[in-house]
Amino acid sequence: MKGKYKIVQLNDGSISFADTLTGELIELDAETIKYVTIQTKEQYDYQEEHLEKFKKKRAYFHPFSYYGNLGKKSLSKIRNCNLKVTEFSVMLLLFEKCSYEKNFVKESKGKFADKKYISEQLKLSYVSVNNALKKLENEEIIKTVKKKSGKAIVVNPYIFFIGNTVSEETHELFKTTKWKEEMK
C-alpha cells in the first residue's frame, strides 16, 4: 500500500493513519509501515503552499518547436504571411539571436538587439529593417516591448523557441495571438 498518509485522531481519542487522497483509514502492519512517510501538519502545509506558488509562478507551456528548432508546421504557416526576402532575412536573424526561454532578441554582448544592430548584421538599410520589423509585428511573429534598458524585440514562441519551457512574461505576450490556435 504505497501512498501518502496522515495521522488522524479518531472520535474515541485513538490515533490512526488515513490515506491523504481517499481519507480511507488504514491499519499499520509490518508491510505497510515500510511505505508510510510521517509528516507534521506544518510540513504538509508548507509543502502544499510552495507547490501552489510554484504552479502559479511557472505558468508556462511547452512550445511546438524545441531547442531552436523551426518546425514544419511553423514554416507552412509563415509561408502564408507572404514575407519578402528582406523580411524573411530579418526574421531568421531574430531567430538566431533569441535568448533561452524568454525569446528576447539579444546581441552577442547580451544587450537587446536594436534596428541599427540588425541593419549592420544584414547589411541592409535602416529603413528596410524598420519596414521588415513592422511587417513581422503585424503578423504577430514578434512583439516590441519596453524594458528598463530600452526596447526589446521578442520572438513568438509558438513559431520559434530555444529551450523547453517558456517564461511567464513571454507566454503572457503571445497567448492571444493567432499563432497559438494555428499551431494546435
pLDDT per residue as tens digits for the range 32-75: 555 555 555 666 666 666 666 555 544 444 444 433 456 667 77
Number of domains forming the structure of the chain: 2
pTM here is: 0.62
- Which residues span the domain enclosing 12? 5-57
Cβ atoms of residues 71 and 159 within 8 Å? no
Mean model confidence pLDDT for the chain: 77
Q: What does the alpha-carbon distance between residue 158 and residue 141 come to, in Å, rounded to a whole number?
A: 9
Q: How many CB atoms lie within 10 A of CB 162?
A: 20
Q: Output helix, strand, coil percentages for the chain, rounded to the nearest 5.
A: 40, 15, 45
Q: Which residues contact 175 (CB under 8 A, 6 or more apart)?
A: none
Instruction: Identify whether residues 94 and 137 lie together within a single domain.
Output: yes
Instruction: Identify whether residues 53 and 79 lie together within a single domain.
Output: no
Instruction: Give tens-digit pLDDT for 1-43.
Output: 455 666 666 777 666 667 777 777 766 555 555 555 555 566 6
Cβ atoms of residues 119 and 129 within 8 Å? yes
- Is the pLDDT assigned to residue 180 strictly greater than 80? no
Q: What is the pLDDT of residue 53?
A: 56
Return the CATH number at 81.
Answer: 1.10.10.10
Question: Is 144 contained in some domain?
Answer: yes
Q: What does the alpha-carbon distance between residue 91 and residue 133 come to, in Å, rounded to a whole number?
A: 8
- For residue 134, CA distances in Å to 86, 131, 149 come to 12, 5, 21
